[in-house]
A = this chain, B = another copy of it.
Amino acid sequence: MTIPGIEDIRSAAGIIAPEAHRTPVLTSRSLDRITGAHLFFKCENFQRAGAFKFRGAYHAVNRLETEEARRGVATHSSGNHAAALALAASLRGIPAYIVMPENAPAIKKAAVKEYGGHITFCAPTLAAREETLAQVVQQTGAVFIHPYDHPHVIAGQGTAALEALEEVTAPDIVMTPVGGGGLLSGTSLAVKALSPATQVIGAEPAGADDAYRSFHSGVLVPSVHPQTIADGLLTSLSERTFSIIRDHTDDILTTTEENIRRALRLVLQRMKIVIEPSAAVPLAVVLEHPQVFEGKRVVIILSGGNLEVDRSYT
């Protein structure tokens, strides 16, 4: 089981530099006042394809040998990894085959199509997704790029924290949301290598707390019937991401749906930037556990900005 090191994250940063955005780190006077913390928001909502996922996908696609890459890449996803992989593949000039559930949001299907991805629809179950993906891979010879259980993807995701630490020196805490654990893994590896005294905390909805329970029990617990508006955080950890998080993450804290909605609203209204519900989860954790964060310098990775816009404006 390959675990990337800081040199892999540095190498990934070099590989993605020509195409990925170096996203800004923003602060907010009013959110600092409300939380009592000093917050630094690393804005991956401004990343290409609207989420940090482009970092890992682009890195993985560009680490493929020419011969391997020729027949394209494939994945199953209803979310940001699908669009990120389609864009990364199009930039390399190779096909991307995306298996999506029939009931995926129209906006997600449109994003994959816009980047030239070939969509195969399947029934909305994990079994159907995996089976359809296996067929697609067999028919096309494309390389499966897993959304998080992949060392090149994890190394790519770690580049967001690498950049953040170049702008915010030795913060007390770095936080990311945790779903499958790719972003939290890459972030933990980067932060612990570069700033060992900085704590890394994963933020998870209480309604989808499999990573919390896995971390605190020491046994990988799968995600079963998760209930949350943070639709990017429904997946389970893999053995690889669980192992990295267990060894390199300091804590996982959870938050209610009410605080996720409040955090989302605060970012939209106070910072005037668009984030998706999953990206609001770390700020929600700060609102829910103020004593942990009071007076601390906290970097929050705003993971993505693919929010369904209010239909009343569309």
Contacts and interface: CB of A to CB of B under 8 A. Distances in A.
B309 A265 contact: yes
B265 A313 contact: yes
A298 B75 CA distance: 40
Contact of A273 (B229, B265, B274): B274
B50 A268 contact: no
A124 B107 CA distance: 39
Interface residues of A, number: 22
A103 B310 CA distance: 22
What is the oligomeric copy number?
2
B313 A272 contact: no
- Name, among A45, A273, A277, A312, the residue most crowded by chain B CB atoms within 10 Å (CB to CB): A273
A272 B310 contact: no
A264 interface: yes
Interface of A: 45-46, 50, 107, 229, 261, 264-265, 268-269, 272-275, 277, 305, 307, 309-310, 312-314
A231 B312 CA distance: 14
Nearest to A262: B314
A239 to B, nearest CB: 34
B50 A261 contact: no
B46 A261 contact: no
A46 B274 contact: no
Contacts of A273: 272-274
A74 to B, nearest CB: 25
A258 to B, nearest CB: 10
Contacts of A229: 313
A120 B277 CA distance: 37
